[in-house]
Structure 1
Amino acid sequence: AFQKGSPFAADFSREILCLSEDGNITLSEENWFVPSHECSTSASNNNVESLSVRSFKGIYIVSAA
């Protein structure tokens, strides 16, 4: 997600590799993402707002910097 030749690409790649090797990425996935074969039965989840372009404004700001 970085421009070609970005000085940040190598640092981020190295940190992602470290997180992956330590198992932290797997822990984050287990905490934040429900496996696709499981559905929530809670009625309170029916009031979830859909994502829009504005939902991703932080990503755009960071990637533009």
Structure 2
Amino acid sequence: MTLTDRVPAESRSDVRRELDAVFATLLSEDYSVDALSLFVQGHPSSDFVVGSQFALRSHRLLSEAV
């Protein structure tokens, strides 16, 4: 799933069912998120790579791709 475009309306219920099935066990557990990673893609056929990571609550950049 990418953030490039919206999921078409006719596919949303199927996608929701699939996501619920994959993430149901994770959503029933307590956990903390301490970092946010932003992924970038050089061109449409390339792999996504970590572009930068941010520590949450500290406003500090953990790392940035060169």
TM-score by length of 1: 0.33
Question: Which has the higher Rg, Structure 1 or Structure 2?
Answer: 1
Between structures 1 and 2, the one with greater strand share: 2
Task: State the TM-score, normalized to the length of structure 2.
Answer: 0.32
> Which structure has the higher relative contact order (CA within 8 Å, separation 6+)?
1
